[in-house]
Structure 1
């Protein structure tokens, strides 16, 4: 998501601003690296297709090594998912700061390694998608450092740390960034960051752009797949009409197909999701659309997305945001949160992914 859970209220205020686990038409899956693997380094050599999966974020140091971790992974696999995405997060206090740092909310390296091993033991492939978030108000898309040189130097240290860890752990796909719209038009500096990542990690690379950011990215040519966090509003008011939602997707489908063709890369939905609240299709990026249950609307939105994009040759899949929260960390009640677990939306997933 474009902000951490503790910033849920801020999401509503910034709404106008506005792979991974994923699903596509076939059963083929892109090749992933081994700790000693190698490839030519050309972006087109890394493919990311046929992915079906779920994001399992962390909010505390040991979430990924907690007793609940294995349970969540087994539940995710039981939906028919083949991939799971992990989101270690560093923080900066303000959007103008020149560096990010580890806090008590950052997953420890050992916990990240442990959950990657658990996922592999269950037959799941993995993606690591590191996040940067803001501690004192603001959204990561608004980061505009006062000293860009210092910020990019710090960011390169941050992202290559996880690139190296991912290479050593055998992670199958890696994201070089997530929703950093305030910096992502700087192609020269991002090109340097991507080159540093490629020097350490030999598998497929993406970047998770906001749905209103992806057209402005100048460095897709340096990556293997176009990543988009697909939180397009689909309705003006609450609806459970899957047919109407499918129709609302049509202009986006046309736009993305043309963009994929121009960039010579597939499009991966690095995130997509809907809270189970009435009106979730009007603002999919918000944790706090309403206080009214919206299970049927969430399920209709899942159905519409999969029905519209499944089978598109240029579509690399969808990484759903998100599975259950860790005990004690949820700020949004499960019945209203993004998780599809135990809701009609999980039945939709199982139907499309062959576990229904």
Structure 2
């Protein structure tokens, strides 16, 4: 997968006039896939269910963006998220009543499984970084079976980098998904060689894990803000207030150079392309987007030679 994530933060983002432009820009990098992230919310970590808000992409907008992506020659992954209304790490979600929560989650995810089937989406993630629930194998296996009854395409789960080894249901899925935010350095660096060396033991561990489970590994997310120190904490939107697009580009280079030739690696879906107009909380010059930065040229070098 040569992929890019285009998240939604509001009901009508995916109906935005900007949608076609973003998809065209993504395709121009050499990307062949784009991921979409309709998000439901919980008020508290122990709540028994999740719900839509005015930040949840409307179904008609999700259908629209999938159609536009296909028109642009891009394959699509639907990757629904569950977040907390007041922010914080979704990995902290740990329901007080697991039976009630998983019943609600099954309704949530099968809704998107049916939408993915109806729109011809080429891949579906059954969950993202829900580490507070993901060790509950029986409940997750039941959810996955319900998803497969509606959607016949390949399935993955987007485990955080510190979660994937504890997932008991990989055999129920087609691809191991990892959100690949491993810290790679103790201090800021723009040296791709140093970052490649940091990746090597991680790559060896992933190769062995893939071999044991007989599944390829997809980086369902990977990304770096263009801030000094991003390689020390790739998962952070606020590493520093100092712009450093050279460190971002070095991180892109090191990841692709390390993994692109690995036979067990299924690819990467970068986090993320541009924010929608007026929706970004982080200034573009400091944000995850590679658009208009040296990191975009790294992508073009690897994915679209000669452009």
Name the CA distance, whole Å, in 1 between partners of 2:200 and 2:73. 34
The corresponding residue for 1:266 is 216
Name the CA distance, whole Å, in 2 between partners of 1:149 and 1:109. 26
2:36 to 83, 86, 108: 86
- 1:207-243 superposed Cα distances (whole Å, 9 cap, x missing partner): 0000000000000000000000000000000000000
User: Mapping of 1:246-261 within 5 angstroms?
Assistant: 246-261=196-211
Name the CA distance, whole Å, in 2 between partners of 1:187 and 1:283. 30
Aligned pair in 2 of structure 1 residues 167, 307: CA closer, same or farther (>3 Å)?
same
Name the CA distance, whole Å, in 2 between partners of 1:190 and 1:119. 30
The corresponding residue for 2:84 is 134
Q: Does residue 73 of structure 1 match 2:30?
A: no
Deviation at 1:141, TM superposition (A): 0.4
> How many residues were matched structurally?
306
2:172 to 209, 222, 235: 222
Whether contact under 8 Å (1:210, 1:229) holds in the other structure is yes
Name the CA distance, whole Å, in 2 between partners of 1:83 and 1:310. 16
Q: Which consecutive segments of 4 or more residues in structure 1 shift more than 2 A? A: none
Whether contact under 8 Å (1:95, 1:138) holds in the other structure is no
Deviation at 1:139, TM superposition (A): 1.4
- SS of match in other structure, 1:152: helix
1:120 to 47, 53, 70: 70
Structure 2 unmatched runs, 5+ = none
Deviation at 1:354, TM superposition (A): 1.9
How high is the TM-score relative to the length of structure 2? 0.99
Name the CA distance, whole Å, in 2 between partners of 1:311 and 1:301. 17
The corresponding residue for 2:291 is 341
The corresponding residue for 1:318 is 268
RMSD across aligned C-alpha pairs, in angstroms? 0.6
How high is the TM-score relative to the length of structure 1? 0.85
The corresponding residue for 1:170 is 120
Larger mean CA deviation between 135-144 and 105-114 belongs to 135-144
Deviation at 1:120, TM superposition (A): 0.3
Q: Does residue 111 of structure 1 match 2:61?
A: yes
Q: Does residue 200 of structure 1 match 2:150?
A: yes
